[in-house]
Structure 1
Amino acid sequence: MKDSRQDVIRLALMGATGSVGSSVLDVCRRFPERFQVEVLAAHSNDSALLPLVYEFRPALVALYDEKAAGRICPDLPADVHLLTGPDSLREALGQVPLDHVVFATSGTEAIPALLDALDASLDVSLANKESLVVAGQWVMPHIRHPHQLRPLDSEHSALWQCLRGESLSSITKVWLTASGGPFLDFTPEEMKRVTPADALSHPVWSMGAKVTVDSATLMNKGIEIIEAMRLFSLPLAQVDAVIQRKSLVHGFVAFVDGAVKALVSQPDMRLSAAAALAFPERLLLEESLALPDPWLWNLSFEKLDGSRFPCFRLAREAALGGGGAPIVLVGADEVAVAAFLNGLITFTAIGDVVEATLSSLGGETPSTLEDALDLLDRSRQYARSFVCGSRAERRYLL
């Protein structure tokens, strides 16, 4: 861990080509005297990664996909070293001096590198939900010092910032906020006609396809509740979500004395990225990120109706059930969203796939990280079988 008073923080960024990675790099771009990007890593998007390499000139580049690495290799600067394959993230962490590692990837492939970073006492900023929902009970014990693990998602960052200087024992409840996605006012019949293009049109945030669909089903908010439980060691009874359509309020924390703290800001990932990277300081960001005067905020809140959004209800049920249920939820949702985007199932069938998979496998309780990852894979397999079976049944009925 580097002393916050030192001038330059040496960074590794895992997931450099995604939306969160782009926000992190924009902060680094604005404060070159504060941040030196030493490692850029991506899964397979070599075409987006290459211009970033020339802009930030890292010492190392890591690409999980070996074909992508083969494409980018001839065009890399001579002084940039390339790593590739499943272990490239872990190798990168051990080859250059670092102070801070940002995990802006999706999936579980980065979990070993995350554990390595924590064990090395490096500061970590995390926007990888799977790491905590699937492997939280094995990840959290590796935290070596307070604030070593810093949430990047805007909602969890809001809670984390509200809790600075506070004791976790003084919390009575926390609320995450949700914009509600594009279908908050849709009728059940309208929901059945939602297309992938409709679902990918989020009213506030610009994100990857999977997260955007999860935001439309509100599965994302349910998964974020589980993530908050892991991050802040809270039971489900103390974690909830509320609709705030403008996405100006990102989270609330209520305390035992009746006081409530909330974080209010523009819906821009650069704010939570800057809070995590520069902690405990705050960076002077551009004026366009400032909020207007408070009398123009016009804030209002709505109860989140789990009966209209079954994916949110299923996520809460998985959180309550504990054990392997959150793992099964993640695996089934991953397959269901992909099936929807590929035109294999309807939007409303996403919840059906998840519910069926939870009913079959949600009662299992893994005892090791390896068991958890195996359960995740079996959940994906079951969900694929369910999708194929439901499609065959529909053809038969037709």
Structure 2
Amino acid sequence: MTSPIRVAVVGCTGSVGRSVVDVCRIYRDRFALTGMAARDNAEGLERLANEFLPSIVVLRDRSKLRSISLPLGTVGLHGDEGLIDMVCSEEVDHVAFVSSGTEAIPALLAALKAGKTVSLANKESIVVSGSWVLPYSKPGQIRPLDSEHNAVWQCLIGENVDYIDHIALTASGGPFRLTALDRLPSVTPEMAVSHPVWSMGQKISVDSATMINKGIEIIEAMRLFSLPHQKVSAYIHPGSSAHGFVRFIDGNIKMLIAPPDMRMSAMTALSYPDRLPLASLSLDNIDMNGAVFSFDVPEKDRYPGYYTALEVAKEGGSYPTVLVGADEIAVSAFLKGRIGFMDIPRIISEVIDSFSGNSAHSLEEELDILQWSRDIADSLCSNRG
């Protein structure tokens, strides 16, 4: 019997991280959790460490690390350097980057340089740093873990990418897909974080409601699959059973249909090229009897931020970085009650309009542009208040 794959999870206490951890818990004979990292959830990390007995755990803050009790033999590290040490450790074969935001970019770059297999569900890192990070990845080294990108990846296994005519990601449309347009300005944070299908964190739930996340995911798909903006789009598919599809130049379409559960994409990313039994996840197969699948183009008046993101994808350069930074601040301001729901796309558009258009020439310059976009967005949010 082969030894279990030694897995490290960056973002182990978040919504996607919990799905990856659960796959490792269910398939303990296949995966050993040897590394775990969390941003601030010290209590959650402590609980997982005492369950899985990893070799290394990482928290951002040293004082929080000192406040937890780790099992004998587990090394506690902190900060960016600690995260890099974990992903490059000889105790780790496979790293799942499933945290949100851009803080893990240095660790992602280090893991790729160290030759680790990477499962990736961190769209911001690829959108901001893809030009500087992806050149270090070898063919097959990165496995998309986000459900839509994972679906496209599975559809492309064994295919010649030169034959791709178009790829499409799906979106649920969020909780306001059928809400009257004149009611959208009155949407509250509590309403926006109530996603109709997925269980997710607050930030990504708001991004789903505005569909800005899908625009960012289109840019991510362009990076991951080396495609121009004309070949990537998104459709609203309320049932979220079809996650993505690929149309080839001969007109044939391959589509991936699966239960809307992040453990599905986590399982395929971790186990590839093997497949593991669904029954172990206590999920039912999709019942195709009488199934109806509908796909609709997002409404521009309902999802203006999505269309701004499409323009950003077309523009390229460092505009996607500006989009990520502005969205981060605008969503945070909305959740804190500083701005309204429909102010989110307006703030983002204003930040993009104020950008000089100069592209970064290094990762450091890209991160400077990211911070600039955050600062401008924060100023605009303050003026709104």
Q: Is the 8 A contact 1:15 1:41 kept in 2?
A: yes
Q: Is the 8 A contact 1:218 1:309 kept in 2?
A: yes
SS at match of 2:67: helix
Q: 1: distance between equivalents of 2:356 and 2:103?
A: 22
Q: Is the 8 A contact 1:14 1:105 kept in 2?
A: yes
Match of 1:300 in 2: 294
Unpaired stretches in structure 1, ≥5 consecutive residues:
392-398
Q: 2: distance between equivalents of 1:248 and 1:169?
A: 27
Match of 2:345 in 1: 351
Deviations 1:298-351 (A, max 9, x none): 221212123321110111011111111100000000000000000000000001
Q: 1: distance between equivalents of 2:235 and 2:286?
A: 23
Matched, 1:183 2:179: no
Match of 2:379 in 1: 385
Match of 1:244 in 2: 237
Kindly report which structure 2 residues correspond to 1:224-239, keeping only aligned pairs within 5 A, or say none.
224-239=217-232
Q: Is the 8 A contact 1:265 1:290 kept in 2?
A: no
Question: What's the offset of the Cα at 1:66?
Answer: 2.1
Which residue among 60, 74, 86 is the counterpart of 1:64?
60
Match of 2:45 in 1: 49
Q: Is the 8 A contact 1:104 1:128 kept in 2?
A: yes
Q: 1: distance between equivalents of 2:298 and 2:94?
A: 36
SS at match of 2:65: helix
Matched, 1:124 2:118: yes
Match of 1:290 in 2: 284
Matched, 1:256 2:260: no
Match of 1:208 in 2: 201
Which residue among 7, 18, 26 is the counterpart of 1:30?
26
1:245 alignment partner AA: P
Q: Is the 8 A contact 2:55 2:91 kept in 1?
A: no
Q: 2: distance between equivalents of 1:101 and 1:210?
A: 23
1:122 alignment partner AA: K
Which residue among 310, 314, 323 is the counterpart of 1:316?
310
TM-score relative to the length of structure 2: 0.97
Match of 1:342 in 2: 336
The 1:91–1:241 alpha-carbon spacing in structure 2 relative to 1, beyond 3 Å, is same
Q: 2: distance between equivalents of 1:362 and 1:214?
A: 25
Which stretch of structure 1 is more off in the superposition, 58-67 or 216-225? 58-67
Q: 2: distance between equivalents of 1:103 and 1:304?
A: 29
Deviations 1:137-163 (A, max 9, x none): 11111112x221001100000000000
Kindly report which structure 2 residues correspond to 1:93-242, keeping only aligned pairs within 5 A, or say none.
93-144=87-138, 146-242=139-235
Q: 1: distance between equivalents of 2:160 and 2:356?
A: 33
Q: Is the 8 A contact 1:172 1:255 kept in 2?
A: yes
Question: What's the offset of the Cα at 1:63?
Answer: 0.6
Q: 1: distance between equivalents of 2:375 and 2:57?
A: 32
Instruction: Provide runs of 4+ in structure 1 moved above 3 Å.
Output: none
Q: 2: distance between equivalents of 1:155 and 1:94?
A: 28
Match of 1:394 in 2: none
Q: Is the 8 A contact 1:328 1:362 kept in 2?
A: no
Question: What's the offset of the Cα at 1:362?
Answer: 5.8
Match of 1:280 in 2: 273
Deviations 1:159-186 (A, max 9, x none): 0000000111100000100000000112
1:80 alignment partner AA: T
SS at match of 1:230: helix
TM-score relative to the length of structure 1: 0.94
Question: What's the offset of the Cα at 1:361?
Answer: 1.3
Q: 2: distance between equivalents of 1:234 and 1:151?
A: 15
Q: 2: distance between equivalents of 1:369 and 1:104?
A: 21
SS at match of 2:194: coil
SS at match of 1:303: coil
Question: What's the offset of the Cα at 1:187?
Answer: 2.1
Matched, 1:6 2:2: yes
Deviations 1:59-88 (A, max 9, x none): 11111122321221xx11221110012211
Q: 2: distance between equivalents of 1:216 and 1:349?
A: 13
1:57 alignment partner AA: L
